[in-house]
Amino acid sequence: MQRRTLLEFGVSWSLLQTSAQAQDRQRAAPLRIGLTAVILADQAAFLTRWSDYLGSRMGVAVVFVARESYQNILDLLLTDQLDAAWICGYPFVLHQSRLQLLATPLFNNRPFYQSYLIGQQGKQGLLSGWSNLRNQVLAYSDPLSNSGWLVAQAQLRAVGLTPRDLRRSFFAHGHRNVAEAVASGLAQAGCIDGYVWETMQLQKMAAVEQTVVLWRSDWYAFPPMVAKRNDNNPALWALGEALQSMTKDEQGASLLRALNLTGFAKPDAALFEPIKALAASVNMIRA
């Protein structure tokens, strides 16, 4: 009996050790954050600085995972290959039942941005707005972009045009690429995130200096940082806190200046209702 008791104790101790080791590995696992291309010439170096900063504040290693499209990022998030993601408001409202908000960036101290329609510098007399797009080439950013696709669908309808009335349209897969397509003449007009265009102008990027804003939209909720709904990983709460505290020290403020942001705010799902209504108006989502 004594030998049996010792064996059972040994098995139980082994199981406890295995469980503790698994928990340690889980705690040590880095927090994976997905995003599309950041508008910076030194993207890799910047993301390294940002991940180091967040990791030091959170006590958990942070790894950024960049992909070409919002769909790529969303697929990784919803299959647990990412823990958090910086996505657009449009995919957020499409999948709101499966996502939770962590933080919303502030642009000029507000959680809002606009969609711009841009044209080539010096040719705006030929193309003054949406009503002039018949038989023109239009560049979109991403199929899941509010500013780079959804807004455009609503505006085309508003002026009595359909995508078929365009000579051609294409996805440039990135707002920076939209500016470059218009600047080079590959497209006569492009749908771009106003924050991205303003940031490119601030950084004196050649492509944006060769374009001009033809139209600005209403204000929409800025692309948020999200995670899967009901994911109770405490590191996600710590991420939200770390983002919202970036204005409190010089290193965080410096990173925000590089992003042309003034901070991150606590999330408010109500801000995204206009995007949801916009999607409903073009039959992309149920109201």
Query: Mind listing the pLDDT tens digit for each residue in 43-82?
Result: 889 999 999 999 999 999 999 999 989 999 999 999 999 9
* Superfamily of segment(s) 112-221: Periplasmic binding protein-like II (3.40.190.10)
Asked if pLDDT for residue 11 goes beyond 70, the answer is no
CA distance 9 to 194: 65
CB 221 within 8 A of CB 40: no
Query: Mind listing the pLDDT tens digit for each residue in 151-200?
Result: 999 999 999 999 899 999 999 999 999 999 999 999 999 999 999 999 99
Asked if pLDDT for residue 127 goes beyond 90, the answer is no
Give the residue extent of every domain in the chain.
Answer: 10-110+222-281, 112-221
CB 197 within 8 A of CB 125: no
Domains 10-110+222-281 and 112-221 share a fold: yes
Q: What do you get for the CA distance between the two ends of the chain, in Å?
A: 68
Q: What share of the chain is helix, strand, coil (3-state, %, to 5)?
A: 50, 20, 30
Domain formed by 10-110+222-281, architecture: 3-Layer(aba) Sandwich (3.40)
For 262, residues 6+ apart whose C-beta sits below 8 A from its C-beta are 106, 107, 108, 109, 247, 256
